[in-house]
Structure formats: structure tokens, C-alpha cells
Structure 1
């Protein structure tokens, strides 16, 4: 045992002890993947994992600073009187535990001309385990040398991260999990708040509207695209080009291609339908529709235009080589509209509009409002940090009267706005890697920490009350000195870049954080947020307010790309609700922001948020209440309501209409309609008899009231059965997983709950299972209920009533069971028991492909919407 002399010399926290007790169970498959937020002691837990595995280990970190922390934590927390010497910082000369960086390993890998020598080195040195610290930092080139090691040397892989890179592209996420394995254990924020390792905190969203020129830009952008698509619908050359596409001219010949890319074929048909061109029935047969079956085509939206153009201009270009000159012209038009860049067609405005909104100068005024409000509330206790992406030094020379004309977000623009605000000028400072500014009154305090002789103090160009600090040769403590001034309160508002202060920088006194960053990801957002939620020694009442800035798109009822991006990033944050009922959950729903932003009074919304942010004492109570209600995390999935009107309205109307059109209107018909009908059709009764008269009467009633009755019953069934369906599906899934030993927790310890929330979301939660079991269950349930993608097996409900009312009958068999026919049949067995009569189809054969395409057509209206969301809840 290389680590027999190492032992943790302090008491473990309860959440740490719980994790440690599960290490041996998780490591049996040679993987241990741990997610834990900043402040949870990942490094210390990592050393304990290494100690318990007992194998010669290579620890990889993203930076030298983090690498050195590993050795420091080992000597500080695991060693008694004598230092542990069986360690190395040199990958060329490994010892029992070697601390290195990803960059160093990659350089080491490149030294070997023959990769077999690289693998042989690890085998000869008997290195049997690798720890990947801050595993979210893994890059493409680093991944390759690590995955080769894992594959060829059969190593034990331990991955530690605060945030898995969920918002990277699908390929990157796939690589990440192939290397690190599924998540085995997650240490949660509530555990850390409960133990006092993190402080109570809340996220707040502050909204702004674009300035007039930005609004004009957005409207112009949308109008140009709309006009272009309208023109295309009248363009005879383009229409002829589409009609001559091989998918239409020789459909049978290219069935495999069509089945491999059904969205492309669908986009072609949807375009032709939008110009009122009749779609031949045989083309609809390809999509699985039967003769005379009603097909409701969706509108040719920007989303569908994007699918069509992406295939024509990029993905299918080589197959259309005879039309290259025409496609060149089309590509040129798209480029001129700024909707084609880097081989990506973007008609939604993901790049153009997001850049405009996320970098909107309206956010500068938002920051002033937030900091002024926090300053009034906290006064001398304020410790605020504003993090952004760029410095924007070009705005240094800006006179006071010109400050409000600054049209870019950045460190200097924020500084310029704050220095002319109501916030005390003395207490504002700038800290970046290349620019540091403090008030001249703080020079003396600076000198009490570090010699003034090491720096030059140059008056700031447009405000001589401030000085820019320029280090002389050899001075390298500037960040530490400014941080100390911030900690003791000489500086109360610090503006900096996320690259310097976003990860690794530690200032426990921070109680207000404004995230003015628009370049980033789940990972960087969570790391930045971690700066404000750490506890501060001696300050038991510390709470943290984290502010997020959103500029709304006035042309989008849902608020636009800025709020959409923020919603996605909130999936990585676990926090407290702001509702009367206190609960802890991941995602943005806990903040109860509006569903749509049509006619929203933004000022009232912001005023309410500012007022809520002052209630820091209440915030602490909310956390205590919510934590006391639960003992650990469980997972849930939400299926969002996707109707055109508000759920409450639809549901009420659906129920009332069934009653109304089934009973009330029939009474009305008998009272008013029947006498009139009798008078007008008396001749039929006399000449053709009672049967002919009754036939005419029923026909008239059907035409007058039948459609309304049909729609009402359909809606009522849809809303009335939604949550019951989900419960039955969840039961079928759970029993299938038990039969295959995918879940081993005792059945009586697991509870499935299904509820309908006020806005129509149907929520299914699993409680009592292990972390990996619950994650596996929720992931599989999401595969079943989300819009159909490309499953190997598809379940089709055989229900006359549902079929005739056109209610969803298609569900994906999750990948968990779809890899083997026997597993799929087992799942179908439980599906029939709990859900009802159904049939399963293999979608890689012709018949199954047709049914798959039809199922996807059924889901077309939801193809571009978020219909489901996974969440972590504390209960």
C-alpha cells in the first residue's frame, strides 16, 4: 500500500462521510465520477479516493496553481508529524502520486513517435489510476491522449468537477462521458449550506430593453429574413429546383437517405405545402400516412427554412453539384443577409441577435441600478464584484457628459458609469490582468500592505481622483493586494474580468455578484457564481446575491435569445425558490419569471426584484426552512404544457366545452334549432318518411355542433389523462429496470410521484433511489416522452378512441432497452400491463422507418421547442 501512512486528520463533514462510504461500491467498474460545487472540498475528497484505491496514481489539474494545491492539501490534511515524500511534480519521474497538468501530459504524449512507447511507459511505471481534476476543462487534444491511455492500459479513472459541460456540443459531451463515465455521486449545494460551507444565496434577474438603434437593428434583421423567405416562395427558379430534387423525382430510389434525414424531406414538403402546392399522396405514404388520412402540415417557419437551407447549402451540397451555380447565388444571398457563417445557417438570430442583446449598453444602466440598490441596503458591509468579458480600454478617455453614449459592455464602460453614479467614488476599483485602477485616497492603505516603491501611480485620464497602478519590474503581488483592500473594505465595488477573477480567485467577503458576462458556458457561469456563495470566517450572517442581466428581444414573445441562454445555464444552478413555499431545485423555474414578455412592465418587475433582494434575513430563513423539509436530492422530469393558450384557460375551456357542447347546446338545439328545422324540412317528412327526416336532422346537428364537440372532447381527454399517462409510463419503466437489475435499491424504498403544476407542467419525480439509479431512470423517462428523435424501437399505442381523436400514440423505447430485442420485449410487457395495448416496431426496417417518420411528423410542432426538462430537487 503506497499510502498506508496517509490518513485524514480532521473530522469529515456528514456529506463527505456519506460519499466516502460509497467509494468502494462506485469504483468496481474502474470509474468514479463526482460532481461537487466549489467549497465542497473536492481536492481533499480526491486524495481520500486515491488513498482508498491504493494504486500508483497520476493526478491531472488544469493549472499549476491547482496542481500545487493538491500537494498542499495532502501535506496539510493527511500527514501528521512527518511530510509525505513519495510524490512528484514531474511526469517523467513518477512516484506513488504524481501531480501534473493536462498540458504537461499532452506535451509528454507528443514526445513519443511510437504511441506504443507512450502506453508502455505507464505500464512499466505501474501507474494504474488517473485523477482528472476540474474535468470540465478537458479539450479535444487532451482528450485523445487520455482516452488512449484508458483504452489500452485499463486504468482506473476518477473524474472530479463542479459542472459537467452539458452545454457543449453533443460530440464533446459524448467524449466527456466516455472518458469520465456516468456520474456516480453528486454533492449538492443544500448539503454544503446545511453544513455551513456555503452561505444562503439567491439568483436575481434584472431585465432591460434594447435601445432604439438596437430595436431598429432587430426589426430590420427579422424583416430582411421574412422578406427573403416571402420572395423565395414566389421564385419560380427556386420552386422548380425544389420540385426537381431527387427526393421528389426518384423517391423510392433514395428511401434510405430520406429515412436517414427525415427533417430534410419534411422541410421540402412543408415548403411546397406553404406555396399551396398539392403534395402527392405517394410522398405522404413515405411518411407512414395511410390513404385519405388527414395530414396537418406545420407552417414553413424560420426553423424549417433553416433546416432546408442548411441541407441545401452545406450537408447535401455534393449531391446537388449540377446546380452549383444556383446554390452559389443562394449562398451569396444568405451571406449578405448575415445568416450564413462558418458553414452554419442561422435564421433564428442565435449569433447576430444574441451578440446584440447580450452586449447591449442597456445593461450598463442595469448594473448601476443594482449596485446603487445594494449600496443603499448594505452600506459599509457591501462587497460587490462585477464580472465581464472584455476591458474595452478604448473608452478610458470618456468625459462625464459622454459616458451615457458608450455603446459597449466592458470593464471600463461599467467603471465609467459607476464612478458618476450615487455610489461612493472612493470605494470603486478595477482589477484585470492588464489594468488596475483605485481611488487616490486608497494609496495609503495600499502602501500599508505592500511597498509603494514597486509601483507607478498614474492619474486616470478623465478623472484625476483615480490612479492607474502600473507594476515595476519584479512586482507580482498586485492581485493579492487589491484583494486584501477589498476584503477589509477600502474597496467595496470591484470591477474585473472573468478570466482573472472568475475561477480560482478567492475573496470570501463577496456578498453581491453581478454577472455581466455574455461569453461563457455552464462551466464558467457556475465557477463565477461560486465566488459569491462561499462562507466568510467570522461572518455567520453572510448571504450572497447573484445578479444576472437580460436584455429582452421586443420581437419575440418569449423574450429572445438572451433569456433563452440564461434559462439553459440555470440548469447547472441549484438554488432556493422565491415563492411562498420554500423549495430547492435546479433550473430557472424556481424564480417564477414570466412565461411571455408581451406587455410586461419591466420597471415594475425590476422594482419588485430589487425589493426582494433587500430581504437577506428572510433569504436565510428560506434556506433553513427548505433544508429542514428534506434529507437529500432526488431527480424529476417536467413535461411542459405546449398549448397555444394559457393552461388554466385551455383546461377550463376544455372541461366546460365538453359539458356545454355535449349537453347544453343539445338542449338549445332541441329548443330553437328543431322547430326551425321542422318547418323548413316538413316536405321531407311528408314525401320521404320519418327515416329520411331523421337522417337529415342528424346530419344538420353534426354539421352545426359536431366539430366543436370533437375538439372539446379531444382537449379534455388530452388534459385529463396527461399526468395519469406519465405515472403509468414511469411505473412500466421502473419495473423493467428492476427486472434487468438496473435498479437494486429495495422496491419499497422507492417512491414515484406525479403532479400537475399550476401552469400545466406535469412533473414526475423518483425518490429513494441512488444517485446513479435516479439519473438513469430520469434520463430514460425523458427519452420516452420527449419529441421522437431516432430510436431503434418505437412503441405505438393501439387505442381506437385515442387514434380517432388524434391524441399522441407514439413513444420512443429508451436506449437502455433498445440495444437488445429481448430487453425491448421485456419493456413492452410492462408497458402493456401499466399503459395499455401497444405494439413495438424496429425502426431500422422499412415498415418501422415509415412509422418512425409518421411519429416524427406528429411531433413536428414541438420539434423546435423545449418540451421536457430534467431537474434536481431537495426533499
Structure 2
């Protein structure tokens, strides 16, 4: 479509109108779901900026897609697909740039590249990102555009920092909800099918926990380590070693925890260093503090025999410490293969009974397991072939089933004879696949056969397709899909979102997609500690969806919408799964709920919730926002808990007083951002204080403005780590946001603004001895406080 004929969608228009504000940091970072028109939007942005542009993509298919859209948009544009012969716009792959220009750090500057487009930015691997960061660093005037549907929100801290360093802060997030409201995508419902592990699997998990605890005990009480630490100057004469202590505070603290557990009493000098006038109960050694301790010990004293012990226990290998490894579920998945296959079968049969011939279902798997066709035992095999063979004997005669991977297609003889006649000479029959053809795939016929199979699924002549993620994952498009089953071992948020995206394309007014996640559950283990469920729920918590447990129902992120059972007993696990299957039948009701919730808003807001949680109950909350029910006066009286009632009321009064101070601080921050013309004058702060939580949100129509405020607010409200400047307000300490903490002049500008609301505030630089001590005191208060403040960011459609 020519540029003059493009009918931009509302969110595309919004992005194009805000380009100048996005580029305040030389980067544009956009998140938009599959099907939202990212490529066309990228072309529109490139055309608006009129700079010499290099577009990088992760695959040849996407390269061809960009070239086609560019030529269609402006047929007079000078375009090249050769990195060594660049034009006004050049399109190539990350692989080509890496292979040809990784040794030329000045390439961007020498070629005059002014605008760099990073498509599917979540694909940037370490080697690619290193090269791009170097090239970008040597071209200070370079502007960038990063496009992705799935930023790696669950990446490790360093990986996320590298991602943001390369792509810049997120400027705009086009939400799925907005696209559903505009009838670009279809509504959906995520379900979690809980699969109890076998008794043997549970015993192995218990044995793992027992062995880990035994190793922990050794780490907490090694005599050689104790003797070594007692010889260290920073522990013997801490007042003379404060510079070392403040620079290595986590290590110092872990040493104190360690020695305390050996019944060594801290001297008065240590209490002075910690900034605590009165003695307190030293916290127990935690996993984190043990990691801090032994990481530093290995750097300074690698010959300690404890490291030989850790190597024997497989906590040390490849010259690296791997302390407190996560429980690996590989064995449990093998042991629970019959249960997992039963779960998939259960879901398919239920969805088939709900939808009949309207079913368009895809089961995604990691493996093929072709050897089952060659005689391997099917009972303990898990992949495309065993799932196909299991379902074949369970579905109704009129339901059409197929399986596809990069090597073959299994299709019913009825569909094969009718729609694959051109390949009939290649049809094979197999005794395990009675009534089905086995059709080998080659590089020549793969694309055509996949296209034909996709078309049949899209037309609902085929109802269930079992396939591999490698073939049916990112980039595969079949709008009619209304049931997605993730039978794979989902490894990341990025992969989950890409697979979920296969079911979000819109094919009709009435479409709603059910998306099923399978998770192994260890009975009687808290959900926050479940090695399979906890990661699934964490990844899903980034995804917006209907929370029907609110009144009225809301579209939100967070894990509360899954309403997991209070305890992982077998009875509650089975009850929960049956409820999920029952709810899956109510598609029309869920679709209507989506429509009602969408009408009430226009965008996803990003409020912060600050919760106060007792450390004793921290695990059971699992980062939920719901207030816990409180006992009233009379119920406390009759239960003999009146003292608890009054102490709780006192705690609540103190909490509300602290929150009112935070309100003033956040209002001052908002006023400063307005004064600096970083956000709009009409943007307003809204706060609410509850018994255990504090809520803040900026009422604005701009994602960019809200993100800027929320990021700064989080820095102030979260536990203090290592900011350059601290705010002191009474006995409370807050971090100065990095935006205003890079230089002394900026920090003083920030202080002046805060004093308009809180005259008694002062500021401290933490890179000198006095500031370091105050920083330590602030961190110690967080550690010793009986209740912990946790910041949770949620997104709510408003």
C-alpha cells in the first residue's frame, strides 16, 4: 500500500505523533503484539525521520517481508539488501552484520548510518548484542528503533540491563487489550492444568531438599572458613577498615551472619559500623548471604577445602560456583509422562465436547519422538508422535486430527486423498497409524505442505493439529485457532508469548481462544516454592487478562487472576483443575466479560502497589495484592486475641503515617517532572492507602509519561541498594532516582523540589565515608524490620 493510502490504526497514529518525545534518549523502543502491524509502523517511522537507515532482522523471511513493505510503501526509495553496498535504506540480518562487521567497530560511523532498526529485538543474543553495543558506542549520534512483541521481562538482571542498554527504555507498549478493543486481535483466557507428580517424583524432590539443606549446614559451619574469617582485619578491627567494609558490604554482612551462627558475639565496634545503637537479633544466614560469602571467598581464597567439597557435591564445576542450584524437573517429566499425556487428552476431549466441529486446536511440543513409529515403547515417550497416537483413539470419528513437524505430516486418508493429491505418490501407511497417511517432508515440499495444512486448520476441515514449536512457533499464522495447548517445556516469557500469539489472531466476532498451560505440582509444597508452577505463574503474571475475581471484572496483569488454591493438597489440586475445565466451557461468557471490561477503559495504566508483609508470612503471599481479612474487636475479644487487635491497630496507624509521607514525596516528584517539562501539566497523581498497602498511579494518556514517573517512583520506594544520593526524611531513607542522581547539581535540583512539600528533607552523597555509613544503616533497617515493604507493579485497563 502506498504511503498516501495507508489508513493508520489509532495506536500507530499515536506512535508517529510522539516520535520526538521518544527520541529524547536517542532511542525508540516499542512493544506490540504479533499481528499489530509492527513492520508497517517501522517503515512509517523510517520514512518520517528521513535518515540513512540500516534495518536488522533475525531471519530471511522477515528480511523479505521488510523489503516488500518498503517497496510497496514508496517505490522510489533507494533500497539495498547488501550490507557491503548500503543505500538510503539497507535491510539485512543480524547474522550477516555479525559475520562481516564484528571486527570493524567504526562501521556505522564510516557508512554514515544515522538510524538503526532492530526488529524482533528479543532475539539479540550475547554475541550479537556485544557487537551492536560496540558499534553503537562508536556512533554517538546514532538513533535506534527497537521492535518486539516479547521483551525478555523474566531475564536475569544483567541480561535485562544489557537489553535496555542496547534498546533504550520502553517508550510505548501497545497492549493486547487495545488491539482486542480495536478488533485487531481476539480475546482469550489462560488456564493452568495442575498435574500432581507421582509419589516417586515427590520423594526425589524431598531428597533434593534434604541434600541441599545438608550442604547448607556445612556451608554455615565450616571450621576452616571460620578460622580464616577470624583472621581478617575488617572483622577484627572494623572501625579501621570501614572503607573496605562499605565497598564490600554484602560480603561483610554475610561474614557477620556466619560468625553469629557459630555463636561468636559481635563487638561494640561492629554495632557502630552498622549504625545501630542497640543490640538486635542478627538475621539467620540466607541463601543470598551464603552466596555473597562464598563467591567472595573463592575470589580471595580458592584453596579452601570447602571448594573441593562443593565440587564433589556438584555445586562447583567449570571453575565456577553454582550455589543452591534449582531443582531440575527432567526426571519428573519422564516419570510423569503418562499423567502429562492424560492431561492433554483430558483438555482435548473437553474442548472437543464444547466446540464440536468448530474446534481449531494446536498442541505445541518440543520433541518429535519419531522412534515410536519404529517400535519404541509409547507409554514413556512424550512428543508429537505419542500425543498424536494417544489422541487418535480418543476423538470422535468426525473430528479430524493431524501431526506435523519438520520431517513429516500425519494426515487422515480422507483429507489426504482430497487435499494432498499432488503428493499421493509419496503417501506411506503405518500399522500404528491406521486410517492415516505418513507424508515425508523435504526442503522442496515443506512450505507447500505446511501452507495446505494451515489452510485446512483455518477452514476447520482439520480440527486438531499436533506439532513442534520449531515449525509452528514464531511467524506461523493461522487466525482460526481457538484452543492452544502448551505441551512443551516453556523455558521463558518470550517463548510463552510467541506460542500464545499463535492463537490471538482474529477470525470472527465470536472467537475467544482458550490457552492451556501444563504444570507439575508437588503436593503440600507452597506454590511460591513449586519448581514448575512458580515460574509458569511468574511468566503469566506479566500478561494481561480478565480477573473475574474483582467486582466488576478487570483486565489486569498479575497472578491473582488465576486464583490458585491456598494449599497444594491433592484434593485442592484436583478441584482447581476441574474448575479450570468447567470455566473453559464458558467461552461466550468470557467474551462478553472482555467486551464489558474493554468499554470501561482506553489503555493499560501502570500503578504501583507498596505492600507491607510480615516476613513470617512472606512466602504465602506469593506477591499478591489482595488485603488479608482482619478480625474485628468482638471476634478478637471472643478469641482471646485482644492484645493482637490493639497491636495491629497501632501498626496500621504507623503504616498510614508513613504512607502519607510517601504521598508527599511522590507529589513532589510529579511536580518536578512537570517543571522540567518531562511530562504534561495535566497529568495527575492518584494515591490510596489501605491497612497493608499503598497505591499510586499517574492519570495520563501518555505511556511515555507514566513510564517515566513510575520508574522514578519505584527507585524511591523499593529497598535501597546502592544509589549515589539518599534522601533523609525523619527516620526514613529513600533513594534519589538515577535521573536526578547522576550529578551533584541534579541532586540539589531534586532536593529543592522535594523541600517544597517536605521542608525537613536532606540529601546525602553515598560515595564518601559518612554517606556510605548512612547507606549501610538504611539497608540494615530493611533487613531487621519485622515487616518488609514490597513494591509490585501491575497493569490495569482503565
* Global fold match (TM > 0.5): yes
Match of 2:423 in 1: 451
Match of 1:320 in 2: 301
The answer on whether the counterparts of 2:612 and 2:789 sit within 8 Å (CA) in structure 1 is no
Between 1:223-232 and 1:421-430, the stretch displaced more is 421-430
Structure-2 separation of matches of 1:508 and 1:553: 36
2:777 to 854, 858, 862: 854
Change (3 A) 1:518 1:257: farther
* Deviation of the 1:422 alpha carbon: 4.6
Are residues 1:431 and 2:416 paired?
no
Map residues 371-520 of structure 1 onto 2, 5 A cutoff: 371-396=348-373, 403=378, 405-406=379-380, 409-422=382-395, 427-448=400-421, 450-453=422-425, 455-459=426-430, 462-471=432-441, 474-476=444-446, 477-520=448-491
> Aligned residue pairs: how many?
785
Structure-1 separation of matches of 2:81 and 2:611: 51
Give the SS at the match of 1:191: helix
| CA deviation vs aligned residue, 1:53-83 (integer Å, no higher than 9, x gap) | 122322211111011111222344x35xxx5
* Deviation of the 1:206 alpha carbon: 1.6
Match of 2:719 in 1: 787
The answer on whether the counterparts of 2:490 and 2:496 sit within 8 Å (CA) in structure 1 is no
1:89 to 81, 84, 95: 81
Match of 2:63 in 1: 67
Are residues 1:811 and 2:790 paired?
no
* Deviation of the 1:778 alpha carbon: 0.9
Between 1:372-381 and 1:595-604, the stretch displaced more is 595-604
* Deviation of the 1:840 alpha carbon: 3.1
Change (3 A) 1:334 1:825: farther
| CA deviation vs aligned residue, 1:332-376 (integer Å, no higher than 9, x gap) | 3431xx6877724342x5253588579953433322222221111
Between 1:610-619 and 1:822-831, the stretch displaced more is 822-831
2:54 to 37, 54, 58: 58
Q: Which runs of 5 or more residues in structure 2 are unaligned?
A: none
Structure-1 separation of matches of 2:503 and 2:249: 47
Match of 2:709 in 1: 777
1:727 to 663, 669, 672: 663
* Deviation of the 1:768 alpha carbon: 1.0
Match of 2:167 in 1: 180
Match of 2:322 in 1: 345
The answer on whether the counterparts of 1:354 and 1:562 sit within 8 Å (CA) in structure 2 is no
Map residues 645-794 of structure 1 onto 2, 5 A cutoff: 652=630, 656=633, 711-712=647-648, 714-721=650-657, 723-743=659-679, 745-746=680-681, 748-754=682-688, 756=690, 760-768=692-700, 770-794=702-726
* Deviation of the 1:46 alpha carbon: 1.0
Change (3 A) 1:271 1:848: same
* Deviation of the 1:288 alpha carbon: 1.9
Match of 1:684 in 2: none
Match of 1:629 in 2: 600
Between 1:772-781 and 1:427-436, the stretch displaced more is 427-436
Are residues 1:528 and 2:489 paired?
no
Change (3 A) 1:10 1:284: same
The answer on whether the counterparts of 1:71 and 1:99 sit within 8 Å (CA) in structure 2 is yes
* Deviation of the 1:789 alpha carbon: 1.3
* Deviation of the 1:600 alpha carbon: 6.5
Match of 1:16 in 2: 12
Change (3 A) 1:649 1:639: closer
| CA deviation vs aligned residue, 1:701-741 (integer Å, no higher than 9, x gap) | xxxx8xx7995465233444465444333213212323333
Larger radius of gyration: 1
TM-score scaled by structure 1? 0.82
Change (3 A) 1:783 1:119: closer
Match of 1:140 in 2: 126
Match of 2:260 in 1: 273
* Deviation of the 1:508 alpha carbon: 0.9
| CA deviation vs aligned residue, 1:588-624 (integer Å, no higher than 9, x gap) | 2333334654687011111111111111111221121
Are residues 1:294 and 2:279 paired?
yes
TM-score scaled by structure 2? 0.89
Match of 1:681 in 2: none
Map residues 816-831 of structure 1 onto 2, 5 A cutoff: 816-831=739-754
The answer on whether the counterparts of 1:386 and 1:495 sit within 8 Å (CA) in structure 2 is yes
1:561 to 531, 534, 539: 531
Structure-2 separation of matches of 1:774 and 1:382: 41
Structure-2 separation of matches of 1:13 and 1:833: 43
Match of 2:313 in 1: 334
